[in-house]
Structure 1
Amino acid sequence: MNRLGSKFVPLLNRRQALELAGAVSLGLTSVCLAEENSPASTVETFEIIDTNVHLFRWPFRRLPLDETVRLVKKLRQFNISQAWAGSYEGLLHRDLSSVNRRLYQQCAEFPELIPIGTINPNLPGWQRDLEDCKTKFNMPGIRLYPNYHHYTLKDLFVTELLQRAESLGLFVQIAICLEDRRTQHRSMQVQDVEISPLSELLGQLPNLPVQLLNAKLPAALTAQLAKLPNLFLDVSRVDGSAGIAQLAEVFPLNRILFGSHAPFLIPEAALIRVHESGQFDKAELQAIYAANAVALLKASRS
């Protein structure tokens, strides 16, 4: 039900949301709401910005949408007008300059895709790679993988990296987890990123927007992080239909962004979780789907 407004709006149920996958053949190409008691079932469409996708191959198995053309087709099917794309190559490749160049070139072929560069501060020349993300590739942000690149947020060079990103007008995304440890390859067990140092780090950098991707946090820690006005979360790892509403009880809704973690997960999964929450009115849904992401972009450029 509508939580803040006076008008009650029924959300799509699970079956309807799943049927969106075949909606193109019916002429319905966007996520929608049908207003109650509307004789013509008035459809309201939403712009959607997916802040958490990757291109190229996941290193450990093939994924159904790991070809860019197929991924973009799926995004268009659900009216996802923009997707912030990192590169799976950035996890294990050492030449990140080439990784970011290939990502930039691939995204240039699809207007929906916004390239987000990978930086590994454990590699020599990361400062140049960071500068190139802004000056050569016109990327709005960078993505960090501390667990795959074997450093922690306590390391001194992380402070330097974040300071440089802020000075360049880049936002920073930190991938907390990419795969549940129970399904990881035995030769590469990767822990979730320890985020406790963030409070001190971001306290020193109030103008740097930072988004956590795939974070699954206890309520107490989430409430603590909510005090950081420049910290954003995505919904990709929220559990169940009630999870996003529960998140919004302890974390500001205007800093919750839509993210699907595609192609590792299918976009439908995140869309269903948002719709089945049943707690948000149209304005709140639009904020989660796109407006909050636009605000993050503006904050990084101000």
Structure 2
Amino acid sequence: MTPRIIDTNVNLSRWPTRRVRDDETTRLVTTLSGHGVVEAWAGSFDALLHKDLAGVNARLAHECRVQSRIRLVPFGSVNPAQPDWEEDLRRCVEEHGMPGIRLHPNYHGYPLDHPAFAQLLALAAKRDLVVTLCLQMEDERMMHPAFRVAPVNPAPLATVVAKTPGLRLLLLNSLSVIRGQALQKVIQAGDVSVDLSTREGVGGVASLLEEVALERVLFGSHAPCLYFESAILKLKESALAPAQLRAVQEQNARRLIPTAR
């Protein structure tokens, strides 16, 4: 039986420094649907460098809306270091009906102890939004010499999460940046989950489930930056039980965003 998968971590548009496979939406959707993906939460590569995030988010919402093969769910970008970021957040919710947002602190130039970051999380929680926080987007070995961006420093995150009641936070591309006790501290601070896109090593997902509660691990491919098939392989070589597979592939994501939204 073909699995039902919710991919919590894909991006539309083009990576700034090179072409990657499936960087056209129709091709990406074909790849996803061919592997059993029924829903994908999509950000936009344009959000990394474009200053006009309102335009980026409007294009993202349109691109997701015109796709019918799978359900593409747009996650608009908000930069709390910019003036009028509250208006960008309002548009994401009220104009585009987005159930969540995607944040890129290292590209947008603010640390996680920035007061506006805490304000954004609080407002997102008040609006019942899922916040997806990217700790990195590209492996340092792949970076263009003129386009080197350090990963987000996650040290302040647990404190900020603990002070934000109602926050639902999903860390993307995080497992090569935060590990061990530091990761557990953040997850224990609130309703925090992780995607598996950057989990490496033999039996990586199985060993992750020994560190993190099952309900806090979600399927995410980081396609098309990474090959979608690599995320599928992570599950296969970890030999998870059927109930664990269903939870990681679909049920845990559905807890954050019910079908009706």
**Matching of residues 30-179 of structure 1 within 5 Å:** 44-111=1-68, 112-179=71-138
Q: Name the structure 1 match of 2:194.
A: 233
More divergent stretch after superposition (224-233 vs 125-134): 224-233
Cα deviation code 1:52-92 (max 9, x no counterpart)? 00000000000110000000000110110000000000000
In 2, the alpha carbon distance for the partners of 1:223 and 1:122 equals: 28
- CA deviation after TM superposition for structure 1 residue 197, in Å: 1.1
User: What amino acid sits opposite 2:23 in the alignment?
Assistant: D
Per-residue deviation, 1:45? 3.6
Q: Which residue of 2 aligns with 1:296?
A: 256
- What is the SS of the residue equivalent to 2:132? strand
Bigger RCO (CA 8 Å, 6+ sep): 1
| Alpha-carbon distance in 2 for matches of 1:188, 1:253 | 36
Question: CA contact under 8 A between 1:144 and 1:172: conserved in structure 2?
Answer: yes
Specify the structure having the higher radius of gyration (Cα): 1
**1:182 alignment counterpart:** 141
Distance 2:204 2:190 in 1: 22
Does structure 2 retain, via aligned residues, the 8 Å contact 1:241–1:274? no
Tell me the CA shift for residue 243 of structure 1. Answer: 1.0
Counterpart of 1:184, as a letter, is M
For 2:21, give the aligned amino acid: P
Check conservation: 2:159, 2:189, Cα contact below 8 A.
no
Q: TM-score normalized by structure 1?
A: 0.82
1:265 — aligned with what? 226
Counterpart residue type for residue 284 of structure 1: Q
C-alpha offsets along residues 178-229 of structure 1, whole Å, 9 cap, x if unaligned?
A: 1111221111211111112111111112311001100122222222223134
Report the alpha carbon displacement of residue 283 of structure 1 after superposing the two structures with TM: 1.1
In 1, the alpha carbon distance for the partners of 2:49 and 2:129 equals: 23
Q: Aligned-pair distance for 1:121?
A: 1.2
Where does structure 2 lack aligned partners over 5 or more consecutive residues?
none
The percent of aligned pairs where both chains have the same amino acid is 40
Q: What secondary structure is seen at the aligned counterpart in 1 of 2:154? A: coil
Give the letter aligned to residue 152 of structure 1. P
Can you list the C-alpha shifts for 1:160-179, whole angstroms capped at 9, x where unaligned? 11111111111101111111
When the two structures are aligned, how many residues end up with a matched partner?
A: 255
Contact 2:161-2:190 at 8 Å conserved across structures:
no
Per-residue CA distance 1:94-151 (angstroms, 9 max, x = gap): 0000000000000001142110001111212110000110000000000000000110
Taking only aligned residues, the RMSD between alpha carbons, in angstroms, comes to 1.2
1:273 Cα deviation after fit: 0.5
2:189 and 2:221 map into 1 onto residues whose CA distance is: 23
Structure 2 residue identity aligned to 1:171: V
